Amino acid sequence: MKALVLDRYMELNYRDFPTPKIAANEVLVRVKACGICGSDVHGMDGSTGRRQPPLIMGHEASGEIAKVGDDVEGWQIGDRVTFDSTIYPLNDWYTLQGRYNLSDNRKVLGVSPLDFKKHGAFAEFVTVPAHILYKIPDNVSFEEAAMVEPVAVAAHTINVSKIQAGKSAVVIGAGMVGTFVVKMLEIAGASPIIAVDLDEGKLELARKFGATHTFKSSTENLSEKIKELTKGRGADFGFEVVGISETVNICLNSLRKGGTAVLVGNLKPEVVVPLQKIVTTELSVLGSCAINGEYELVLDLMASGKVKVDEMISAVAPLSEGASWFNRLYNKQPGLNKVILVP
């Protein structure tokens, strides 16, 4: 098969690669679309340490089943499918508690840290266990289905927060996942929904996806302006979708006393936080990791038209041109959001 292979850091080659063989509990998927995730772009230069070459990256994907393992039931050749980015064991304690995203022995598709390697979907074929498959509704395209993963990350964040209709929310970081957090907050009935980012173009997109108010992060007296929109108290909930000290602090300083911060971004392994503010105003600080069963919800929302991802897709390009598109994203070409590669 042909694949886009990270042979060395900063070197992606479109070349021949052995077609993977399926285990008894797996299916072979003929990939129809695979999105370039920001984590793939960061992985290309080795900065994350989680994509050690040689490796086929790619975990936001969709396709058709080409072959079914001997122990697989309920799936047939030709089924249109997408799949979770997390490959989790069914007998893990956390999985059995309904929290498979925290399972001790989980793997992530297209990722290669020190303890495992699982080739991903920037290829003509990929193997996945049948228990992480989801059927694509007839009115959802392969390109749209390749967007389920980032929307599901946002949906999980909302589920972690347990936010209720009518509660106020601020979202720090209006990138891909942050903008989908805005959309999921709109669906959940939050009000007002305030988005904060450095980039005015991203804020404009956040408004299209449901933000009622937007501010640049450089805005003077930002926390006071947020208070003005939230009955003089501050936001009930804050969602941080970057992962650096500056934005985490903006999130925490935007909250009312007793408010809840949900940390989604993890660009840096450590950040500095205002401990006394957290303690003296009794803030709740939650983490949100990946996805825990939200794929079906997102596919239903896409099929119903409540979540539309087309405006997020900047380009659909052949997999053979993947290296060029990775470089454009790595160099932060203006106006680029999601790029979908098609084998």
Would you state the pLDDT for residue 137? 98
pLDDT for position 267: 83
| pLDDT at residue number 339 | 98
Q: Which residues pair with 169 in a beta bridge?
A: 193, 237
| Cross-strand partners of 64 | 30, 80
Residue 16: CB atoms within 10 A of its CB come to: 10
- pLDDT score for 329: 96
198-232 burial string, b = 16+ CB within 10 Å, else e? eeeebbebbbebbbbbbbebeeeebbeebbebbee
pTM: 0.95
Model pLDDT for residues 80-114, shown as the tens digit of each residue: 999 999 999 999 999 999 999 999 999 999 999 98
Report d(CA 177, CA 155) in Å as an integer. Answer: 10
Dihedral sign, Cα of residue 250, residue 254, residue 255, residue 257: positive
Cα separation, 33 vs 124, whole angstroms: 10
Between CA 310 and CA 151 the distance in angstroms is 12
- Half-sphere exposure of residue 337: CA atoms within 13 angstroms, side-chain side: 21
pLDDT tier for residue 138 given thresholds of 50, 70 and 90: very high
pLDDT of residue 144 exceeding 90, the answer is yes
Q: Is the pLDDT of residue 23 over 90?
A: yes
The one-letter amino acid at 5: V
Mean pLDDT for all residues in the chain: 97
> Going from the N-terminus, what domains does the chain have, and what CATH number goes with each?
2-147+309-342 (3.90.180.10), 151-287 (3.40.50.720)
Q: What is the pLDDT of residues 37-82, one digit of tens each?
A: 999 998 999 988 889 999 999 999 999 999 999 999 999 999 999 9
Burial of 292 (0-12, 13-18, 19+ CB in 10 A): buried
CB contact at 8 A, 290 and 156: yes
